[in-house]
Structure 1
Amino acid sequence: MAKAAKIEFVCTDCGKNYTRWRGQCECGAWNTLAEMKIPANSKASGKKSAAVAGYAGFSGGGSKKIDEIESLEAEKRPTTIGELDRVLSGGVTTGSVNIISGDPGAGKTTLLSALVAHMSQDTASLYCTAEESLSQFKNRVQRLKLEYNSDNLYLLSETSVEAIIEELETNQIKFAVIDSIQAVVTENANGTPGSPSQVKSAAQALTQYCKQNNVTMFLIAHVNKNNEIAGPQTLVHIVDALLHIDTNDGQVRTLRANKNRFGDIDTVGIFKMTERGMISVDNPSEIFLSGSTTSSPGSAITCIRKGNRNLLLEIQCLTTEIESEFPQRVCVGLNMNRVKMLTGILRKHTKTKIFHDTFFNIVGGLKIDESETCIDLALVTALLSSLNDFVVPRTTCIMGELSLNGDVRPIDSGVPRVKEAAQHGFEQIIIPHRNYHKSMETAGAKIIPVKTIHQLLEIIQ
């Protein structure tokens, strides 16, 4: 007689298991324990079952000395999607299970539709959609004009994990996409689709199958209002890689790996959403510069760092006479508190009076993180340029952090940023004095180190 299923309570925040319900988890969260049913092993024999042998599959044989274990390099397969390959450190790892998340409309389905179409050209591939019809998916493939192998590309509309695994086994699928993990259910857990028990058990079952059969899989995951993956935190621990798509105000999408067992997590991929789908941007600096051939006041160019990539972007500022009693401060893509602080520094140390409506914008629709302080000097330059009606040459790149006492503080990765600006033809590069290094002079541009905001004003005005 089969044993009854075991009941556990899992914290939806940290994933810790308990044998009985309690009000507060050890992580400090209240009322986050959800009931989860775990099927008991029906066989009581001493032989271990591969189904319960862990995510990586059953190996057997007991422990081994490290010198007895064969070292195998992870096999990477390029996807021809340049920015995705960059984020995954060279391509998709064979046999890996990956999650891709993002806001609704970020481009998760669009990106993976192109990926599964490419993989089908020489690999049996499956796209399982639990949220839309098969005709909708086919219409998307035709609209995006994707190239695929009709003999290898399988489409499935299914919500049962057991049925999905059976389909993978029947057609000997080696690459699969599940859209989405919150929409599928398994018989081994109770609860509705998307509940912590269902999400965790479904991910466990799919990952075990992939590891035991060398199947590469991508799971699409929903996000909550805090832009975090919906469901238990253990979902992140189960998979090999966690990719997230950030949506900017415009068409720009940034792809970042928050976890990657087969590569680094410092690389950021830049995409542009078009009518032909998610297009890789091999030279992101081109879309973050206005491309204007005429010089005008209120513009300054700087270099920021996204992961391990250096991006040139243009900061624009417009100042106009106030139309009300209080001047406006409008920022698109910038942190408002940072702008207020910089205007305060200008008033204190340069006696600049800003009785104007002030509007700031980042060309290309990119959002600048609050921690990216290297844009301070460029932002101040753009403001003064618009306020005093002078032009900053488009061959000048400005980078540096501004402190409250008016000093210019150093920035991280100064040499790579300078080299990036020099490669794009900038003739004059203004940097913090403490970032200056002789190796920068070989870049072919004139390097101007500054110590204070007063030195910056002498150069730009």
Structure 2
Amino acid sequence: MAKAPKMAFVCDDCGMDYPRWQGQCRCGAWNTLVEVRLSAAKTSASRPAVLGYAGAAGGGAKKLNEVESVEAEKRLTGIGELDRVLSGGLTTGSVNIISGDPGAGKTTLLSDLVARMSQSTASLYCTAEESLSQFKNRVNRLKLNYNEDNLYLLSETSVESIIEELEAKQIKFAVIDSIQAVVTDNANGSPGSPSQVKTAAQAFTQYCKKNNVTMFIIAHVNKNNEIAGPQTLVHIVDSLLHIDTNDGQIRTLRANKNRFGDVDTVGIFRMSERGMVSVDNPSEIFLSGSTTDSPGSTITCIRKGNRNLLLEIQCLTTETESEFPQRVCVGLNMNRIKMLTGILRKHTKTKIFHDTFFNIVGGLKIDESETCIDLALVTALLSSLNDFVVPRTTCIMGELSLNGDVRPIDSGVPRVKEAAQHGFTEIFIPFRNYHKSMEGLGAKITPVKTIHELLELIN
């Protein structure tokens, strides 16, 4: 008599399994356990070879000197900022995930990419969330150049059917839009469930590694702007790219994981009528371009990944018409602003009974960890409050401590070089960041130790 198949109950939200049904999962979700039939265990002699994430079929353990060293093959995509984030181009045979908020530009960027790749290789764009006519309208609207003999479109949700098309058309570059919309027969649950997402990603990765196919997979994000689905998804693929949407048309692309390069590089794009346009010199966007000197404006240098960006901080102070002054900031952390105004009141005896407005030119959002803008913030505030002008040829950078001292910042030399290359003639930096290599840059480097010293030099 044949044995009855074993059953388990798997949570659709987190993927945790239980031997019997229960109302609530440990993740806190209610009524999410689904009954799953487990396949019978096989002996090692009858078990077929199973491809791992890297596509290897086993072969036993080898000594290090017996392993053949193969350099990863990279190719430039023609999209400058994408090539920069991918550390020199797209790795052949890699599986990459790209995520971001709705409207961030994921489909727009990959539509441009698949059109460019079709110029040299058979490429396929599989859309499970929109019709083929919608995709064609986007290609025509963006005026993308593509090879009509090499570009294939597919509207399909079955993983097995997609892989069959990849095999039949001998596709070497593919885009899946999106992993939450496709389903596989080898997993239970609805589209987007942890089991479906994980199994589908494994199937795509195994096929790509075995057949040397390069693939991009679009993934949704949750309400915290993090990639949706099980964390296993991130471990399966080779790289994870994320698009951050700043106020306005600026987009930043960052690699949160990259097996073939570093994760410190940030790509800057501008959303336009022609799609996502690479910004080769982002400092020009984040500077207002004004030629007139006016109070309340200070220029500093921040670091996005391993890139140095010059940006302009603007501050406006006006007499308040209410009992309590307003504090408004765009692109900055409000708690940091409150702390800096407290330092000014304590150490410079500055009275701030005004409505205060801060703004970052270009719509860029500054991370809370980017403390090098402290000196520029307080200088812009005092400039507007006391009606004096900071020359537009002056760049100020440094962190301000609670006792009024100027603390050092990371990567001081590259920041100073970036400012000097853009024609700034005087650069204020923390005293401990000063280095002899800064002397031959054609700019006057002024190290400062305290906020009092900075204000005496500027006024």
TM-score by length of 1: 0.94
Distance 1:95 1:21, change over 3 A: farther
Answer whether contact 1:257 1:268 (CA < 8 A) is retained.
yes
Instruction: Show CA shifts across 1:146-205 (max 9, x none).
Output: 110000000000011011001001000010000000000011111111111111111111
Instruction: Show CA shifts across 1:103-122 (max 9, x none).
Output: 00000000000000000001
CA distance in 2 between counterparts of 1:138 and 1:225 reads 30
Instruction: Show CA shifts across 1:350-394 (max 9, x none).
Output: 111111111000000000000100000000111111111111000
CA distance in 2 between counterparts of 1:85 and 1:6 reads 47
Q: CA deviation at 1:9?
A: 3.6
Answer whether contact 1:10 1:36 (CA < 8 A) is retained.
no
The 5 Å alignment of 1:338-417 reads 338-417=336-415
- Tell me the equivalent position of 2:55: 57
The 5 Å alignment of 1:308-347 reads 308-347=306-345
Q: CA deviation at 1:41?
A: 7.9
- Tell me the equivalent position of 2:97: 99
- Give the match's secondary structure for 2:59: coil
CA distance in 2 between counterparts of 1:395 and 1:10 reads 60
Answer whether contact 2:8 2:18 (CA < 8 A) is retained.
no
- Tell me the equivalent position of 2:458: 460
- Tell me the equivalent position of 2:134: 136
- Tell me the equivalent position of 1:422: 420
197-206 vs 100-109, which moves further: 197-206
Q: Which amino acid aligns with 2:301?
A: C
Q: CA deviation at 1:55?
A: 1.7
Q: Which amino acid aligns with 1:107?
A: G
Q: CA deviation at 1:36?
A: 8.0
Distance 1:90 1:364, change over 3 A: same
CA distance in 1 between counterparts of 2:285 and 2:208 reads 39
Answer whether contact 2:7 2:19 (CA < 8 A) is retained.
no
Distance 1:145 1:192, change over 3 A: same
Q: CA deviation at 1:60?
A: 3.4
The 5 Å alignment of 1:209-224 reads 209-224=207-222
Distance 1:359 1:431, change over 3 A: same
Q: Which amino acid aligns with 2:117?
A: M
- Tell me the equivalent position of 1:251: 249
- Give the match's secondary structure for 1:140: helix
- Tell me the equivalent position of 2:223: 225
* Among 83, 86, 106, the residue aligned to 2:84: 86
Q: CA deviation at 1:231?
A: 0.9
* Percent of pairs with identical residues: 81
Instruction: Show CA shifts across 1:308-362 (max 9, x none).
Output: 1100000000111111111111000000110111111111111111111110000
- Tell me the equivalent position of 2:258: 260
Answer whether contact 1:266 1:308 (CA < 8 A) is retained.
yes
Q: CA deviation at 1:31?
A: 4.5
Q: Which amino acid aligns with 1:49?
A: P
Answer whether contact 2:12 2:34 (CA < 8 A) is retained.
no
Instruction: Show CA shifts across 1:396-448 (max 9, x none).
Output: 00000011111111101101100110011100000001111111112111000
CA RMSD of aligned residues (A): 2.2
Q: CA deviation at 1:40?
A: 3.7
**Is 1:154 equivalent to 2:134 in the alignment?**
no
Q: Which amino acid aligns with 2:408?
A: P
Answer whether contact 2:333 2:366 (CA < 8 A) is retained.
yes
Q: CA deviation at 1:4?
A: 5.3
Q: CA deviation at 1:11?
A: 8.6
Answer whether contact 2:12 2:195 (CA < 8 A) is retained.
no
Distance 1:130 1:264, change over 3 A: same
Q: CA deviation at 1:222?
A: 0.3
Distance 1:42 1:340, change over 3 A: closer
Q: Which amino acid aligns with 1:78?
A: L
Distance 1:419 1:21, change over 3 A: farther
Answer whether contact 2:180 2:219 (CA < 8 A) is retained.
yes
CA distance in 1 between counterparts of 2:98 and 2:316 reads 38
- Give the match's secondary structure for 2:303: strand
- Tell me the equivalent position of 1:241: 239
**Is 1:46 equivalent to 2:30 in the alignment?**
no
Length, aligned pairs only: 456
Q: CA deviation at 1:46?
A: 3.0
- Give the match's secondary structure for 1:455: helix
Answer whether contact 2:317 2:355 (CA < 8 A) is retained.
yes
- Give the match's secondary structure for 1:60: coil
Q: CA deviation at 1:77?
A: 1.1
Instruction: Show CA shifts across 1:8-29 (max 9, x none).
Output: 746955x67666678676xxx4
TM-score by length of 2: 0.95
- Give the match's secondary structure for 2:316: strand
CA distance in 2 between counterparts of 1:436 and 1:153 reads 54
Structure 1 portions without partners, runs of 5+: none
